[in-house]
Amino acid sequence: MRIFALHSDYLRYRVRRKAVEAAPDLSDGEREGGAEECLVLFTAFESSDSERSVEAALREVETLSRRLGVRRLVLYPWVHLTETPAPFNVAVRLYRSLADSLESAGFDLLRVPIGWYKEFEIRVKGHPLAESLRVVGPEAGPSESTGAEGEVEGEEKGRFLLLWPDGREEELTDWRGVENEVLRIVVRNEVFGKPPSGGEPAHISLMRRLELVDYEPASDVGHFRFYPNGTLVKRLIEDLASDVASSLGAMEIETPLLYRLDVPAIAGQAAKFVERNYQIPMGKTTLILRFAGDFGLFEMMKDMVISYRDLPLSFYEISPSFRLEQRGECVGLRRLRGFTMPDIHTFAADVDQGMEMYERYFHEYHRLLSSLGVDYAVVFRVVGEFYDRLKPAILRMLSGVGKPALIEILPEMKHYWALKHEFQVVDTVEGNAQLSTVQLDVEDSDRYGIFYVDRDGSKRPGVIVHTSMGSVERMIYAILETAARRANLGEKPSLPLWLSPTQVRIIPVSQDNLDYARSVMESLDSAGIRVDLDDRDISLAKKIREAERKWVPYIAVVGSREERAGTVRLRVRGEEGERDCGVEDLIEEIRSKTVNMPYRPLTVPKLLSRRPIFVGSS
């Protein structure tokens, strides 16, 4: 069964004529109708559906209605959602059963007739949770297409509480009492189902104004073009992820983008994301574009000979990945169909060894997000039987970052992991999105035939730690949204200095000072600082204004006085006033603020007079 759910201001319909001869006859009162402030359920019944599908669908609708705070439903039969429809007589039976179940559950339900051609008018609300596709089946249960990159599909909700670093637990009865603003919004959205207000997140306009990223109309939705400065930012974040992987001893690999669906292990993984796969028919088989880096790594590992002496064993890959997200869910860089995921997988002997690596990843990702200037909330999800055993490790991690966490305790093992956590970021429209995540996988080693040879010569399955800092694109989203949120508090928005495409812009007071400006630029450039020179014949005020608009961290103005003194007049973003600064002092200041961070040179022309405009922003 497929349910396309739309949170709507209203829906109105009028029947025209029968689409199926066996369609039930209608009374005059059933031929037209409507509802306001409702959740519209466009529903297709499939050939594999049974009464168990109805039970699963009811659970899904109840969960969604709680999240949206709506009890008025419209059940609208919509066969076009599926290529394998149930026979009409079966569809009618399932339609009536689902309608009866929804009404028995206390919903105010409008039944739109089945088997008739209809005209309808609908207005859908604009918030990020307004549209979602639910796919439920008689055996496998529901899977949901609204998860973030790296999230597990169709996750059953458990019991929620707040856990503090000192061990205090607090049952959640209201989100308003949570002190930390980021955690408060995450608790509201995750636990109490209060949807964000809607509107466009700030990063969408910022990514264009800063000439970083833009929509690509010639591609599929959710695929973006990166301008030179955006590509530089993307590569620097990838370098940072590589540094983290290298520091943890991970070996870099590269695996294919395409896999055959007639390989049982691949088919099993793909089935978890069945409605989100890019599939390519190829002769007698079908190829799938990978949605994560697991495919190739697991195929590689099951062919390896691994000794207990080799453990823990880690692998790293920058994984271009693809997920066929719903069109309405693709919002800027928050959710994409094509994205870049730095994946690390660690194969460990047992849970204890796996948790040692888990804690290391947790702290490394905290350091990584701190270097990006991104604030976050911690969310742990743990299977109930593992909570007491793993709680001391969770408390150590929380103490290390000085943050409380939202804890979800699941009643039973529903997925491959016993424990996972997410660092969640909040954007300017109060939506939340997952960034870094670590998962303790206690099942897949055995499932995919990945074993190690123990001391006694026996083959044993291990524990797999899945981890990623989050997609590079979503990191850019988080950085821009964090900057915009700070701007709303009166701070100047900025990128981290090490990540800023132009770290210093040299601005001569007049054309007479160009030679000195060039010499300053050359000194900074040779010292490994990304610097450019505004040599255009426009006013000084406009040059400074444009540098501010591009979030340039250091603006160095040079005139005759500075030329005589061998200095620059410095404006530092986020600081009050101006100051004189020697060139060598400026080099040392920037080096001290970017120590141990990745560096790449500027790729656009250093002279602004020779630089093209990629987006009409000036």
CA distance 485 to 493: 8
CA dihedral 582, 584, 587, 589 (to 10 degrees): -60
CA distance 92 to 43: 12
pTM score? 0.76
Which DSSP string corresponds to 56-115? Answer: HHHHHHHHHHHHHT--EEEEEE-GGG-SSBPPHHHHHHHHHHHHHHHHHTT-EEEEPPSS
Give strand pairing partners of 14: 32, 119
pLDDT of residue 157: 65
Residue with tokens 């002190």: 179
Closest CA to 544 of 555, 559, 560: 555
CB-side neighbour CA atoms (13 Å) of 450:
26
Residue-range domains of the chain with CATH? 2-144 (3.50.80.10), 159-255+305-480 (3.30.930.10), 497-610 (3.40.50.800)
CA distance 566 to 455: 69
Residue 219 per-residue DSSP state: S
Distances (CA, A) of 485 to 100, 478, 482, 573: 46, 10, 5, 17
CA distance 164 to 355: 20
pLDDT of residue 193: 80
Question: Token pair for residue 610?
Answer: 């020779």
In this structure, how many other beta carbons lie within 10 angstroms of the beta carbon of residue 42? Answer: 22
Residue 414 per-residue DSSP state: -
Question: Token pair for residue 576?
Answer: 């009050």
Distances (CA, A) of 444 to 513, 526, 551: 65, 50, 46
With a cut of 70, which residues of the chain have pLDDT below it?
A: 137-157, 195-198, 268, 271-275, 616-618
Which residues lie below 8 Å from residue 105, measured CB to CB, with a gap of 6+? 58, 62
Question: Token pair for residue 465?
Answer: 């730690």
**Cα 374–Cα 529–Cα 580 angle in degrees, nearest 5:** 95
User: Which residue type, as a one-letter code, is found at position 240?
Assistant: L
**To the nearest 5 percent, what fractions of the chain are helix, strand and coil?**
35, 30, 35
Closest CA to 486 of 496, 498, 499, 472: 496
| Phi and psi, residue 489, nearest 5° | -95, 5
pLDDT of residue 275: 55
| Element at 318 (helix H, strand E) | strand 313-322
pLDDT of residue 326: 81
Q: What is the pLDDT of residues 7-42, one digit of tens each?
A: 999 999 999 999 988 899 999 889 999 999 999 999
pLDDT of residue 282: 83
| Element at 589 (helix H, strand E) | helix 583-593
